[in-house]
Amino acid sequence: MEGGEVARCADVQIHMEEREITVKVVYYGPALSGKTTNLQQLHGLIDPGARGKMVTLDTSDDRTLYFDFLPIEFGTQNGFSVKLKLFTVPGQVMHKSTRKVVLAGADAVAFIADSQRSGAGANAYSWRDMEANLKSNGIDFEAVPKVVQFNKRDLPNVKPLQEIRKAWGDVPTFPAVAIRGEGVIETFRELLRLVYRSIDERHAFAQNFGVSEDDFLKGVFHSFE
């Protein structure tokens, strides 16, 4: 590929000349499942040198109105620049068209589910809504890297993890109490790992650019190793 050309594959942008990659990650899920809380916790937990300012567009009662946005940026060992753009969608059913817009160009999705048994219907509705919105944005639903977080494990009447894992099969699932920061990093780290592998498969990231999986993850997580 010529210098300056932009490779777009499942929308991950690799700028060859600038040695830069931009990845869009969307936190999706039903209303009140904890998407905004996940981003707030990430903002507090990750390396302050890597993260930018978090932007939140919500109503007076803290419900996301349009989206939250958290930019993360770091350099790899050999000078490759990685830009991660994290978004949340508004979960309330009425914001359907906004969710579709926010999901456009997503390279990976973290689906935040409510673990309470009473949340099962809303989780299922939101998962189907995500599938439809990915497809209508021209994104391959099967191939896009995705993880599922079962949040609010601190509440009574939650679905047992064994039951969850059986139901979700191959999709990586993580228990969380996002309000306390538990499971937030684990969810994000696995999603980034899947993103790296999907880029590496298509662009031989390690071979062509000298960016290893460790190198890619270290920019965000080195303080947790």
Ligand X SMILES: Nc1nc2c(ncn2[C@@H]2O[C@H](COP(=O)(O)OP(=O)(O)OP(=O)(O)O)[C@@H](O)[C@H]2O)c(=O)[nH]1
The residues binding ligand X (CB under 6 A) are 29, 31-37, 62-64, 88, 90-92, 151-152, 154-155, 177-179
Per-residue mark of binding to Mg ion, 27-56 (x: CB under 5 A) = --------xx--------------------
CB of 114 to ligand X, least distance (A): 9
Which residues, numbered 133-172, are part of the site for Mg ion (CB under 5 A)? none
One-letter amino acid of 115: S
Q: Which of Mg ion, ligand X, none lies near 173, with the C-beta cut-off 5 to 8 A by kind?
A: none
Nearer Cβ to ligand X (35/203): 35
Nearer Cβ to Mg ion (87/209): 87
Using the rule CB under 5 A, is 126 a contact of Mg ion? no
Nearer Cβ to ligand X (76/173): 173
CB of 208 to ligand X, least distance (A): 38
Q: Which of Mg ion, ligand X, none lies near 177, with the C-beta cut-off 5 to 8 A by kind?
A: ligand X
Q: Which of 38, 64, 151, 173 binds Mg ion (CB under 5 A)?
A: 64
Burial class (CB in 10 A: 0-12, 13-18, 19+), 73: middle
Q: Which of Mg ion, ligand X, none lies near 203, with the C-beta cut-off 5 to 8 A by kind?
A: none
Interface residues toward Mg ion, by CB under 5 A:
35-36, 64
